[in-house]
Amino acid sequence: MGIYGVDIHPRFQAGIAIEEIRREGFDFMAVKVSEGADGSYLAAGSADFLRRGGAAGLLTLGYHYLHAGNEDAQAGAFAEALDTAGVPGMLDAEAIAADGQTPALTIAGIRGFMAACRRLGVRVPLLYLPHWYWDRLGQPSLAGLPPLWASSYVSVASAPASVMYQSHAPGSWDSYGALGVEVLQFTDRAQVAGRLIDADHYLGTREEFAALIGRPLHRKEHHEMDQLPPTTTPADSDSDPGGWPQRNYDVGFDVAGGWEGGFAFGFGTQDWVGRTVDAARGYLGLASWIMADRTLSPVDGVFSSAGGGQVIFAHNPTRTYAAPDGAVGLTLNYAAPGGAYVTEGRSG
């Protein structure tokens, strides 16, 4: 079950046959587009990789390698690269100090970079922050950051990715820092398009991965219900739902495609038998309108970083929220081990 992807660098993988990656059965590809304040990676080959990957049918992302400090300038370089390439982003947070052991980053710096991205309207649906790096950071809470793209390498000879993945440790998918693992990098030596490169696995479908990274906008009918995939089961089902692993999900709506009336939504969770102390079934941490200029506007103060979110109880969804003028979509960060749903409607 699941789909496979690769992550590549325009210099280290220069000349790789992008179209062959897709022909070999891969569904997604992350390409380095910036590092620190350096946005030269598009010109070095990333723009061509992303263009060809999209044309071949790969779901593409651009990633930023974070340095310590100067987070605003780094976010600016990342924003410009993503805007130019027209792809969603991923943050790569694993920089090491000169001693080869100590993390160069801090959790405050990572959060500062993410805050700068939000101010610039940059959506970053995935965070590459390996478990070993989290350990060296002191195992801080990662709550409120994007879902994890983790790494745990198999100890087998190089082979096609689907063969190597069969040797992965089941614990590689365990959540940490209050975040679930959405993507697993399980080797840096998979045989892909005649090269040995990083390979990754996602447990869901291609459609679910597209939704995770930001699906295309499309016209909808007057009333719809989106079924949202379940999140990782918390280690303690009776713990505070606000600390359960969360994931990001986008709901798009195209004004030109028929949303000429007012759009409104409500969020609820599916039932789940894991909880025993009360009827809590999930948590809605963040909910923001995606505006036409790519900025984010909180749906309600309670669903902002300062507001803290809302516990969702069985058969008791949120109230309905109406979209402001200029909104083109909705982004949610939620926890729902049994799955969730968004009811949508518009005036005719």
What was the pLDDT predicted at 223? 61
The band of 292, judged by pLDDT with boundaries at 50, 70 and 90, is low
The CATH fold assigned to 223-346 is Jelly Rolls (2.60.120)
Calpha distance 78→40 (Å, rounded): 11
* pLDDT over threshold 90, residue 221: no
Calpha distance 120→277 (Å, rounded): 41
* pLDDT over threshold 90, residue 9: yes
What was the pLDDT predicted at 347? 56
Numbered ranges of CATH 2.60.120 in the chain? 223-346
Q: How far is CA 110 from CA 129, 135, 335, 339, 347, in A?
A: 10, 15, 22, 29, 41
267: Cβ–Cβ under 8 A, 6 or more apart, which residues?
Answer: 284, 287, 312, 317, 318, 332, 334, 340, 341, 342
Average pLDDT for residues 79-87, to the nearest whole number?
A: 90
What was the pLDDT predicted at 172? 95
Calpha distance 139→150 (Å, rounded): 14
What was the pLDDT predicted at 309? 94
Contact 36, 74 (CB under 8 A): yes
At residue 207's C-alpha, the angle toward residues 204 and 209, to 5°, is: 55
Residue with token string 């780094």: 74
**Pick from 126, 140, 50: which is nearest to 93 by CA?**
126
Question: Mean pLDDT for the chain?
Answer: 89
| Rg of the chain on CA atoms, in Å | 20
* pTM attached to this predicted model: 0.66
The CATH fold assigned to 3-213 is TIM Barrel (3.20.20)
Numbered ranges of CATH 3.20.20.80 in the chain? 3-213
* pLDDT over threshold 60, residue 32: yes
Span 89-140, pLDDT tens digits:
999 999 999 999 999 999 999 999 999 998 888 889 999 999 999 999 999 9
Residue with token string 């038998």: 273
What was the pLDDT predicted at 205? 87
Span 175-184, pLDDT tens digits:
999 899 999 9
Position 120: which residue type?
A: L
